[in-house]
Structure 1
Amino acid sequence: MIPSIPVDPERRQQVAAALRAVLPARAVLADPEDTRPYECDGLAAYRQLPMVVTLPDDEAQVLAILKVCRDLDVPIVPRGAGTGLSGGAQPLADGVVISTARLNRILRVEPYARTAVVQPGVRNLAISEAAAPFNLYYAPDPSSQIACTIGGNVAENSGGVHCLKYGLTVHNVLRVRVCTIEGDVIELGGESLDAPGLDLLAVFIGSEGMLGIVTEVTVKLVPKPAQAQVIMASFDDVATGGNAVASVIAAGIIPAGLEMMDRTSSRMVEPFVKAGYDLDAAAILLCEADGTALEVAEEIARMTEVLREAGASAITVSQTEAERLRFWSGRKNAFPAAGRISPDYYCMDGTIPRKQLAHVLARIEEMETTFGLRCANVFHAGDGNMHPLILFDANQPGELDRAEAFGAAILALCVEVGGTITGEHGVGVEKIDSMCVQFGARELDAFFTVKRAFDPGMLLNPNKAIPTLQRCAELGRMRVSGGVLPFSHLPRF
């Protein structure tokens, strides 16, 4: 467990009093017992008690919080449902958390335009539930979709098991309304297919709360497919399964979903969900086709042929909607199911070229021996977004440190084979050192230039996502000549 920094009681009293002057008393939490639930997100190994937590009801209250924090020079951490896995919502001992939980209204669903306008605290799944009467749904479906909110999805550019065909959050959000640290309300994007000017919407999505506070989101809705079926293909070794993924895409097939699980993952999930997985297989692929009945039948037949030629030892096709949902429920419950076989797990998130899947999986297997820890591999195989689950016991001295080193080695491997250190979980605090592996001084300078354009005082989610050059130099990732860092004008916080 990473130790937290004590909160300054006098400063907390000052900031809480200023916030209570502009907000309802119930919207300001300052007592430690009230702020404790906000000390971490899904990366529970990193905890910090926040100085103050605020729960605004509307945009005007968000602006009031920002003004108080700007006037008092208080850093701000935006927070959605807290399901994030990279520590992006980890509080600061001298900072204020802005929770968007009460901004939870679906403002309207436009069936003819196929859009929905929602507040950031609306749950991902709730959008699809609201659109269901119009035979529409919101496509991005993270495993946490029952709980995660659209504001958090925007912050992390979340994906899900169907992101291969339907895209990530950035491909399904048309417009965001944002409160800036300087007290302005701006709109990025628009409800038409394109918006004039620079594409700042794409810059904002995935910015991890560092550029502004979202108060409204317009999302794209898509028609529910008439039919969907999923293939469960078994493989006798993980490398063959990894190569089969590349074979499916090379055949010109873009499945609605293409996911992979190794034997460790399948065996930890099956008793939990009873999905019907092949527990003897070294790896299984879940390949979904959706569309009209004829389209689905044709694609299932083509994928079956490709998978058999690629070395599948067994193939099962869902015959009912209930069976299809069971297959997916196992994949979506892989993270909680890890608790059945390990006291703790560390969920990584890196993206690699599909052709490197077999090589990377083999290297991860070698790393299990190097670090003395098990790893269950569950991932969005179709777009190369990997989620290795490193299993460890935090009560055993040194195991958390080894798990972190194991994770850093996996991310370095992703960069080595031409990939990137994250796909949909964000950088947060978890991967900030790994950013130094992937990016150099010029890239970091560009990142900070964008950051300063939106947040000149560096108050929004500081110390997250972008490492300073000093941090990278201390890690030995950059050359320091004569005690001088390049780009020495960059902020050191």
Structure 2
Amino acid sequence: MEHSALRAEFVAAIGADAVLDDPVSLRSYECDGLTGFRVVPEFVLLPTDTAQVAAAVAICARHTVPFVARGAGTCLSGGSLPVAEGVVISLQKLRSVLEIDVENRRAVVQPGVTNLDVSKAVAEYGLYFAPDPSSQQVCTIGGNVAENSGGAHCLKYGFTVHHIHEVQVVLPDGAVTTLGAPSPHQPGYDLLGAFVGSEGTLGIVTRITVKLLATPTAVRTLVADFPSVEQAGDTVTGMIASGIVPAAVEMMDALALEAVEASVQAGYSLDTAAALLVELDGPPAEVATQFAEIEQLCKDNGTTKLVIAPTPEARAAMWKGRKAAFAAVGRISPNYFVQDGVVPRTRLAEALVRISEMADEAGLRVANVFHAGDGNLHPLVLYSEQAGEHDRAEHLSTAIAELCVDLGGSLSGEHGIGTDKACSMPRQYSDVDLATMTLLRKAFDPDEICNPGKLLPTPRLCGDRPGPHRAHPLEAAGIIERI
């Protein structure tokens, strides 16, 4: 459809101020947190409520124009990468906390509300929202729902899907529906479970009912240094094997510690191979008993230094260092790729050793900072664009993700597949698995206009349109074969 005619429809539906198509504004939306992939959209839309989102999507559906929902743009897998000649529907203006239900421990929020602001809004009632991605100060609840985000405390409290009661969704044809319900037990197919983590490929969420938890009565935190990543990994395995489930167990290697200390001076050691950040919360007596067991486990596995946070301020400083790790790495490398593959806890040490070997083979450095408790690795592959290391780094990053699958794990723990790892999905899933996922996706979006090219594999260099494989004309004519 001609640009001016499509623009006129969008303006009539949501207002001229909500339709951006000037080159400077469009460039601001050309990528998300995975900056290596960039695409300039044709329009960026800024709706202010569900009705405007639905109107915008209905126009896209009527003209088969691809669209991509976007929150804060912090996705690290290219999940909100625009589509050329497509539309970005930004949800940044839908950022209100609509309702707080203290008695039932839930809140209703719009998708543009940041993760941390949910907890701030309910703190006076002794409540909080448990999922806590490292980017929680800026990442939005809508994005958390799309990626099924977790964070440091997911070991004990689970992921976003475990803390969502209900979502209001604009489907790819512009219809508005509700998935889930205030009551946690509903008959029928779990469409809410299918939607959370679908990476924006099934529709756009415009209202979310989240579950709230009571603030723990006791919290204790320590940082333990180890002379090797293997010993740190063995300590994590020992904790879980003993029946203790900490609120969080984070690990950082020497390179990550160097970057963090240069950035925020969190008090981490610079003369250690690895450090564990461990936190327990719950009833005071239980926390005290389990904390003593964890201290002993650290000593049994050769800790060289153990620091216990004496005050809430000291604990906050420890966490500030961990949550600043990704940004801090920018101090020691001009560019890096971030992965988030998952391995079984018992294979943590093996995975880290193999990653180190792969990095040496590629002539690159890898900093490791990750959720050790559930085996969710976050290796950062450092490289210099000026030194021509981009392709090597991208190849290594992909190889690390696929290594996780080979070790019995997964391509992604919380960042999503997006554009970055879509072509690696056949490493984890069979053709039948992927075909079943495609059937679900097409049931919601038969025209394949809702965040196309993400999650499911699409050849990236052959010129195919986003979506499942389509036969090349020569293949259809029987002249060539697909292998």
Matches within 5 A, 1:264-303: 264-303=255-294
Whole-Å Cα distance in 1 between the matches of residues 335 and 410 of structure 2?
Answer: 25
The code of the aligned residue for 2:272 comes to A
Contact 2:131/2:157 (CA < 8 Å) preserved in 1?
Answer: yes
Matched with 2:170 is 179
The code of the aligned residue for 1:221 comes to L
Contact 1:231/1:300 (CA < 8 Å) preserved in 2?
Answer: no
Structure 1 position 289, deviation (Å): 0.8
Whole-Å Cα distance in 1 between the matches of residues 459 and 5 of structure 2?
Answer: 33
Matches within 5 A, 1:256-405: 256-397=247-388, 399-405=389-395
Structure 1 position 468, deviation (Å): 4.2
Matched with 1:248 is 239
Whole-Å Cα distance in 1 between the matches of residues 371 and 268 of structure 2?
Answer: 17
CA RMSD in angstroms, aligned pairs only:
1.9
Matched with 2:453 is 463
Whole-Å Cα distance in 2 between the matches of residues 278 and 356 of structure 1?
Answer: 25
Matches within 5 A, 1:68-147: 68-147=59-138
Whole-Å Cα distance in 2 between the matches of residues 271 and 419 of structure 1?
Answer: 33
Whole-Å Cα distance in 2 between the matches of residues 311 and 191 of structure 1?
Answer: 48
The code of the aligned residue for 1:451 comes to R
Matched with 1:443 is 433
Whole-Å Cα distance in 1 between the matches of residues 387 and 233 of structure 2?
Answer: 33
SS in structure 2 of the partner of residue 230 of structure 1: strand
Contact 2:70/2:80 (CA < 8 Å) preserved in 1?
Answer: yes
SS in structure 1 of the partner of residue 40 of structure 2: coil
Whole-Å Cα distance in 1 between the matches of residues 210 and 129 of structure 2?
Answer: 8
The code of the aligned residue for 1:14 comes to A
Matched with 1:419 is 409
- Report runs of 4+ in structure 1 exceeding 4 Å deviation: 468-472
Corresponding residue to 1:237 among 228, 231, 252: 228
Structure 1 position 280, deviation (Å): 1.3
SS in structure 2 of the partner of residue 38 of structure 1: coil
Corresponding residue to 1:29 among 4, 20, 23: 20
Structure 1 position 229, deviation (Å): 1.3
Matched with 1:17 is 8
The code of the aligned residue for 1:450 comes to L
Structure 1 position 99, deviation (Å): 0.5
Structure 1 position 315, deviation (Å): 1.5
Contact 1:349/1:425 (CA < 8 Å) preserved in 2?
Answer: yes
Aligned residues: 469
Structure 1 position 271, deviation (Å): 2.3
The code of the aligned residue for 2:455 comes to A
Whole-Å Cα distance in 2 between the matches of residues 61 and 69 of structure 1?
Answer: 13
Give CA-to-partner distance per residue, 1:433-489, whole Å, 9 cap, x none: 1112222210110010000111111110011110148999x9xxx9x9xx979xxxx
Matched with 2:196 is 205
Whole-Å Cα distance in 2 between the matches of residues 292 and 469 of structure 1?
Answer: 52
Uncovered stretches (5+) of structure 2, i.e. residues with no partner: 477-481
Uncovered stretches (5+) of structure 1, i.e. residues with no partner: 1-9, 486-491
Matched with 2:54 is 63
Whole-Å Cα distance in 2 between the matches of residues 166 and 344 of structure 1?
Answer: 33
Whole-Å Cα distance in 1 between the matches of residues 5 and 436 of structure 2?
Answer: 36
**More displaced 10-residue stretch of structure 1: 186-195 or 414-423:** 186-195
Structure 1 position 91, deviation (Å): 0.5
Sequence identity of aligned pairs in percent? 49
Structure 1 position 12, deviation (Å): 3.2
Structure 1 position 267, deviation (Å): 1.1
Whole-Å Cα distance in 1 between the matches of residues 390 and 374 of structure 2?
Answer: 29
Matched with 2:479 is none
The code of the aligned residue for 2:454 comes to K
The code of the aligned residue for 1:238 comes to V
Structure 1 position 328, deviation (Å): 0.9
Contact 1:84/1:425 (CA < 8 Å) preserved in 2?
Answer: yes
Whole-Å Cα distance in 2 between the matches of residues 435 and 43 of structure 1?
Answer: 18
SS in structure 2 of the partner of residue 386 of structure 1: coil
The code of the aligned residue for 2:441 comes to K
The code of the aligned residue for 1:447 comes to M
Contact 2:224/2:304 (CA < 8 Å) preserved in 1?
Answer: yes
Whole-Å Cα distance in 2 between the matches of residues 446 and 245 of structure 1?
Answer: 36
Matched with 1:4 is none
Give CA-to-partner distance per residue, 1:138-168, whole Å, 9 cap, x none: 0101011000000000000001111111111
Structure 1 position 11, deviation (Å): 3.9
SS in structure 1 of the partner of residue 367 of structure 2: strand
Give CA-to-partner distance per residue, 1:212-260, whole Å, 9 cap, x none: 1101001011011122111111110111111111111001000010010
Contact 2:422/2:458 (CA < 8 Å) preserved in 1?
Answer: no
Structure 1 position 388, deviation (Å): 0.2
Matched with 1:409 is 399
Structure 1 position 123, deviation (Å): 0.6
Whole-Å Cα distance in 1 between the matches of residues 263 and 82 of structure 2?
Answer: 33
Contact 1:12/1:30 (CA < 8 Å) preserved in 2?
Answer: no
Matched with 1:218 is 209
Matched with 1:489 is none
Q: Relative to 1, partners in 2 of residues 1:468 and 1:342: Cα closer, same or farther, differing over 3 Å?
A: closer
Give CA-to-partner distance per residue, 1:145-198, whole Å, 9 cap, x none: 000000000000001111111111011111111011223211111111212211
Q: Relative to 1, partners in 2 of residues 1:103 and 1:410: Cα closer, same or farther, differing over 3 Å?
A: same
The code of the aligned residue for 2:286 comes to E
The code of the aligned residue for 2:440 comes to V
Q: Relative to 1, partners in 2 of residues 1:310 and 1:287: Cα closer, same or farther, differing over 3 Å?
A: same
Contact 1:379/1:387 (CA < 8 Å) preserved in 2?
Answer: yes
Give CA-to-partner distance per residue, 1:56-107, whole Å, 9 cap, x none: 0111111110111111110010101100000011111111011111111100
Matched with 1:50 is 41
Q: TM-score w.r.t. structure 2 length? A: 0.94
Contact 2:71/2:111 (CA < 8 Å) preserved in 1?
Answer: yes
